[in-house]
């Protein structure tokens, strides 16, 4: 069977598993998954594993997250088409590609120069030119385009940097894995007023650390 057909088959198996288990119910997230080819964002040496439900190395000591983890985070984010989104930790650009299918504006920050180049190339090959990929320290956020309706941190952090909380709109929400790299808690943080936040927990995960 042609490799492209095999990958498409693997993609549909994963998709049906989500539907069957009702783990991923958000229709927009499911549509985004269907419309973005993960194989464009996977290291070529792991191409056959594009739709295996596991994290894969992408270089610079980083990984592309497990597809189910990505989809769960996007489901918790509950993005509307008019939302402005900030992502901290671009990696190979896959999550940013999905975000671009869900919201109005996507800014994604990556500190590793090689991954910035890789993500830009991958997003271009996926025909997604509107994502703004920034090289820099994600903990500082991106004040020139703030505030953001949604912020997602894709690496384990001990706490949420104040800059990111400040750059969130009132009523906006932030999703981040909080705690040690193995066994961090997925937290949803809603900004209810300028200085008040409500936090809820959504399970245990493993992530590379935010640096």
Alpha helices in 22-161 (DSSP H): 27-35, 67-77, 94-102, 113-125
Assess whether pLDDT exceeds 90 at residue 129.
no
Mean pLDDT of the chain, nearest integer: 95
Coil, strand or helix: which one is 128?
coil
First to last CA, the chain: 42
DSSP 66: P
Q: Which residues is 200 bridged to in the sheet?
A: 188
64 secondary structure, DSSP code: E
What pLDDT shows up at residue 1? 56
167-196 average pLDDT score:
94
Residues with active-site annotation: 65
The whole-angstrom separation of Cα 31 and Cα 165 is 29
Residue 164 has pLDDT above 90, yes or no: yes
Quote the DSSP letter at residue 209. Answer: B
Look at the chain and count its residues. Answer: 211
pLDDT above 90 covers a percentage of the chain that reads: 89
Secondary structure of residue 136 in the 3-state scheme: coil
The C-alpha atoms of residue 175 and residue 65 are separated, in whole angstroms, by: 15
Listed residue (156, 170, 175) closest to 78, CA to CA: 175
What average pLDDT does this structure show over 153-172?
A: 95
Q: How many CB atoms lie within 10 A of CB 161?
A: 18
Q: Is 93 left (phi over 0), alpha (psi -120 to 50) or beta?
A: left
Alpha helices in the chain (DSSP H): 3-21, 27-35, 67-77, 94-102, 113-125, 162-166
CA distances to 42, 72, 98, 100 from 123, in Å: 12, 22, 10, 10
Of 211, 205, 141, nearest to 179 by C-alpha is: 205
pLDDT at 87: 98
pLDDT higher than threshold 60 for residue 41: yes
């Amino acid at each position: 069977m042609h490799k492209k057909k095999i990958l498409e088959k693997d993609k549909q198996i994963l998709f049906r598993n989500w539907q069957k288990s009702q783990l991923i119910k958000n229709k927009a997230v499911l549509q985004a998954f269907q419309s973005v080819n993960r194989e464009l964002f996977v290291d070529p040496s792991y191409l056959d594993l594009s739709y295996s439900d596991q994290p894969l190395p992408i270089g610079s000591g980083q990984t592309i997250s497990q597809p189910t983890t990505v989809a769960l985070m996007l489901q918790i984010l509950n993005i509307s088409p008019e939302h402005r989104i900030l992502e901290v930790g671009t990696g190979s650009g896959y999550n940013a590609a999905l975000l671009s299918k869900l919201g109005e504006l996507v800014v994604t920050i990556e500190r590793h120069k090689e991954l910035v180049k890789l993500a830009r190339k991958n997003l271009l090959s996926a025909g997604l030119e509107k994502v703004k990929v920034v090289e820099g320290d994600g903990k500082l956020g991106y004040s020139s385009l703030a505030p953001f309706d949604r912020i997602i941190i894709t690496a384990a952090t001990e706490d949420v940097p104040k800059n990111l909380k400040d750059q969130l709109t009132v009523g906006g929400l932030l999703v981040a894995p909080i705690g040690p790299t193995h066994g961090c808690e997925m937290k949803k943080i809603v900004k209810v007023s300028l200085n008040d936040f409500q936090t809820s927990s959504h399970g245990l995960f493993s992530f590379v650390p935010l640096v």
